[in-house]
Homo-oligomer: A and B are copies of this chain.
Amino acid sequence: MSIAVDTFFLNPDAPGTLQAQVQQMIAEGILSGRFHTGEKLPSSRRLAAHLGVSRITVTLAYTELVANDYLSAQGRSGYYVSENAPVPPTYSPRPRAADTVDWTRAIAQRFTGGDTPRKPGDWRDFRYPFIYGQADPTLFDHANWRQCALRALGQKDFASLTDDYYDRDDPLLVEYIARHTLPRRGISARPEEILITLGAQNALWIAARVLLNRRRRAVIEDPCYHAQRDLLTHAGCRLTPVRVDADGLPPDAIPPGTDVIFTTPSHQCPTTATMPLHRRHALLERARELDALVVEDDYEFEMAFLAAPSPALKSLDEDGRVIYVGSFSKSLFPGLRLGYMVGSEPFIREARALRATMLRHPPGHMQRTAAYFLSLGHYDSQIRRMGAALHDRRRAAEAAIAEHGLTIAGRGVYGGSSLWMQAPEGTDSAELATRLQADGVFIEPGAPFFAGPERPARFYRLGYSSIPTSRIGEGIARIAAALRDAPGATDRPAPQAMQHS
């Protein structure tokens, strides 16, 4: 029996080469049980004509499928589904009945209902994407990343690709971070004091679990990164949000009884405030008084194109009470899911045991590729290129903001990749964001960053890491136009930049 050529269709939107698509189509037909052992495939000439592809494409796909034992070639007579082809399942899935489980009772701990807004997956379709924290294809050194990945896929690195590391990490990556990355933040650490994590968020999560329980109290900044608040809510500790000012977290406002302080001194998230040196010392002094630990989220220090970043809080720490969290999400790309934490050995030992139990280790291949990209110097080159581009974008944004009379509530003195904006009194920035979407503009409403029931609604964040310089002016013009049409907004811009009320 022959398989009719009409059963083959190419999906014009499918990814991959034509050869891969043909190969995949046939493999799927066999695996799903549509094509059976011994059945003859259309000749390469017929299938090529039917699909409108070249004959060599079909021939190469057939050859590959023969090598994989899906097809067998029988001399001049053609290609057949092989006797050794994978057998589709003999039992068909039974139709699902309605659950009898009462999930309201069965779920012991709820994790939904957090404040983290769901960002759109289709942000690339926005013409003016003021989105924060995604990679820009024009700034990322894709070619060299690919080279490093290829090298990490080589025979020499077979073990680092495939091995179960248990609780260990790639020693090359750890060494690079210890010798080159941390010294730039004024931090000296031995490998036993470093743990690689699935991004900075995973590091913050692990720190919360090791350092907190129901009886302990954590201080977070208000406003702060929403996922930070969610993960502490899940940890079930007592939680005190402390309002930040133009210099970041005020140490005096940290209440007695605090056990752990979560802070973003270099670029406060989301206001971008930079904590001055005297306040850093005061914060450490306050932590010492309370015998509290400090978790420092230094998520964006590489984006310092205006001035050299000040040394990390951790570099001033003489007690071992600061746990430092770094990330490659902003400087490389967030889909990498690589970050790291630095702390005293007794802490890292517990963090490592927790990580091993919950997920073992970040994939070896991602760690090794990053280690190569860093150690070959591509990383530093990219940071400089990104810094130059972000500087341009920042200038364009500031010029347009001035031109249209909008108000900046916070801008990192070292650089960064976003501005914290303040709309006129009475503006609901969530409503503003919705209206702007129809106009091709993506902005992030500010309310989800704030704690408590009375959230200031008029702030919003403008990320400039994924929008071309040439579109920034028009994007901001559209925001200004939308603000003029905003229901309930007054015309008077708010006077005080850092006062959140």
A interface residues, Cβ below 8 angstroms from B: 15-17, 20, 23-24, 27-28, 30-32, 65, 68-70, 84, 86, 88-103, 106-114, 116, 118-119, 121, 124, 133-135, 137, 140, 142, 145-146, 149-151, 153, 155-168, 172, 179-180, 182-188, 198-199, 201-202, 205, 209-213, 216, 227, 230-231, 234, 259, 288, 291, 293, 308, 311, 315, 318-321, 329, 333-337, 344, 346-347, 349-351, 353-354, 356-366, 372, 375-378, 380-381, 383-384
Contacts and interface: CB of A to CB of B under 8 A. Distances in A.
B360 A199 contact: yes
Contact of A184 (B28, B89, B344): B89
Number of chain copies forming the complex: 2
Contact of A162 (B185, B308, B335, B360): B335
A187 to B, nearest CB: 6
A333 to B, nearest CB: 4
A321 B356 contact: no
A142 B90 CA distance: 30
B183 A163 contact: no
Contacts of A94: 186, 188, 315
A421 B196 CA distance: 37
A360 B329 CA distance: 12
A321 B105 CA distance: 12
A118 B329 contact: no
A183 B376 contact: no
A95 B320 CA distance: 12
A380 to B, nearest CB: 4
Contacts of A17: 151
25 contacts: A20-B151, A20-B372, A31-B180, A68-B378, A84-B384, A86-B380, A91-B315, A97-B320, A99-B344, A100-B318, A101-B293, A102-B291, A108-B211, A114-B357, A119-B166, A135-B163, A149-B149, A149-B365, A163-B333, A198-B198, A201-B359, A231-B357, A231-B358, A234-B354, A363-B366
Nearest to A337: B363
A308 B86 CA distance: 12
Contacts of A90: 308
A381 B166 contact: no
A359 B106 contact: no
A202 B202 CA distance: 13
A64 to B, nearest CB: 8
B24 A375 contact: yes
A87 to B, nearest CB: 8
A485 B107 CA distance: 53
Nearest to A213: B108
B163 A134 contact: yes
Contacts of A150: 146, 150, 153
B116 A212 contact: no
B92 A157 contact: no
Given A69-B381, A69-B384, A186-B91, A164 B133 contact: yes
Contacts of A378: 68
B350 A112 contact: yes
A385 to B, nearest CB: 9
A168 B377 contact: no
Contacts of A185: 89
B376 A27 contact: yes
Contacts of A156: 15-16
Contact of A100 (B158, B320, B346, B362): B320
